[in-house]
C-alpha cells in the first residue's frame, strides 16, 4: 500500500488554522487528522465538530477524525455532518462497538477502530472484518509531542498479520511520536498511514520541510 501522511492539527497554530491546513495540503500531506478529546476518556480537552466543519471549509483532503471521548456513539452523527470522512473510535470504552461501527458506516463515513498501547490486539479480532482501518496508538492518547513507545512495533506487526488474513484492504494507521526517526521502522512493521503533528507543524524549518523529511525516511 502507498504510504499516506495524516497531518495532526493538534500541533498547528490555531490562530491561523485555515492557513496551516492549506500549507499542509500544499506540502503534500494526504489526510488531515483531527484529535477530539473530552477531558474524560483522556485528560485533555481539545476540539469538537465545529473545528471539523472549519477544516472542511478549508480543504478537500480526507478528514480523519479520531474520537477520544466517552460515549462516542452520541456524537458520531455531528462529526459526520460536519464533514468527517473517517471516524475512528476506541475499543477500550465501547461495549457496543459493533453497533457504533455500523452507525458510522450508515452515516456515509469510513469506520476505524483504535487501540491504546496497553490494549492487546486480541481485543479487536472479532471486529476486524468490519473496519476500514485499525489505528494503533504509539503513545498514550491525550497530548501531542510525546515520545514514541517502541514496544508498540510488535503490535503493528501482529495486526498487519491479522489483517492480511481477514481484511487485507484495511489500512493500518499509527499515531503518536511519528517522526523522521521512527517512521521507517513503523513502515517496515506494516503501517501504511502515518499521523504526524509535531513532525509536520512543529518542524523548525516549516511544514514543507517536515513533510519532506518524513517522506524521505520511507523512500
Q: What are the residues binding ligand DX5 (CB under 6 A)?
A: 8, 10-11, 33, 35, 66, 139, 141-142, 144-146, 175-178, 195-199
Q: Is 175 a catalytic residue?
A: yes
What is the C-alpha to C-alpha distance for residues 212 and 137, in angstroms, rounded to an integer?
A: 23
Cell 462497538, residue located: 97
With CB cut-offs between 5 and 8 Å by kind, which of ligand DX5, Zn ion, none does residue 62 bind?
A: none
* Number of residue whose CB is nearest Zn ion: 66
Please give the Cα distance from 9 to 27 (Å, whole number).
Answer: 14
Active-site residue identified among 35, 64, 192, 213: 35
CB neighbourhood size of 127 (10 A) = 17
Check binding of 35 to Zn ion (CB under 5 A). Answer: yes
**Of residues 181, 106, 107, 101, the one with CA closest to residue 135:** 101
Residue 136 interacts with which of ligand DX5, Zn ion, none, CB < 5 to 8 Å by class: none
**35 vs 121, beta carbon nearer Zn ion:** 35
Q: Are 196 and 5 in contact (CB under 8 A)?
A: yes
Q: How many other β-carbons are positioned within 10 Å of the β-carbon of residue 140? A: 14
Residue 142 interacts, among Zn ion, ligand DX5, none and using kind-specific CB cut-offs from 5 to 8 Å, with ligand DX5
175 touches Zn ion by CB under 5 A? yes
Distances (CA, A) of 23 to 173, 181, 219: 22, 23, 22
Based on CB atoms, which residue is closest to Zn ion, 112 or 190? 112
Q: Active-site residue among 30, 64, 175, 192?
A: 175
Q: Is 35 a catalytic residue?
A: yes
**Which positions are catalytic?**
35, 175
Give residues in contact with Zn ion (CB under 5 A). 35, 66, 175
Amino acid at each position: 500500500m502507498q504510504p499516506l501522511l495524516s497531518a495532526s492539527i493538534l500541533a498547528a497554530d490555531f490562530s491561523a488554522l485555515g492557513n496551516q491546513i492549506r500549507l499542509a495540503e500544499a506540502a503534500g500531506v494526504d489526510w488531515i487528522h483531527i484529535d477530539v478529546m473530552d477531558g474524560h476518556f483522556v485528560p485533555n480537552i481539545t476540539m469538537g465538530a465545529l473545528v471539523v466543519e472549519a477544516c472542511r471549509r478549508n480543504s478537500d483532503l480526507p478528514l480523519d477524525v479520531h474520537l477520544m471521548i466517552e460515549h462516542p456513539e452520541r456524537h458520531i452523527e455531528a462529526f459526520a455532518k460536519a464533514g468527517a470522512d473517517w471516524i475512528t473510535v476506541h475499543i477500550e470504552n465501547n461495549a457496543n462497538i459493533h453497533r457504533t461501527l455500523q452507525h458510522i458506516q450508515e452515516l456515509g463515513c469510513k469506520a476505524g477502530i483504535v487501540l491504546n498501547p496497553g490494549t492487546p490486539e486480541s481485543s479487536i479480532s472479532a471486529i476486524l472484518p468490519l473496519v476500514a482501518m485499525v489505528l494503533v496508538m504509539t503513545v498514550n492518547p491525550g497530548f501531542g509531542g510525546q515520545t514514541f513507545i517502541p514496544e508498540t512495533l510488535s503490535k503493528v506487526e501482529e495486526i498487519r498479520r491479522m489483517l492480511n488474513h481477514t481484511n487485507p484492504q484495511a489500512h493500518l494507521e499509527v499515531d503518536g511520536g511519528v517522526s523522521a526517526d521512527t517512521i521507517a521502522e513503523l513502515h517496515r512493521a506494516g503501517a501504511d498511514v502515518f499521523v504526524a503533528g509535531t513532525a509536520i507543524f512543529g518542524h523548525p524549518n516549516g511544514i514543507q520541510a517536515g513533510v519532506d523529511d518524513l517522506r524521505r525516511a520511507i523512500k
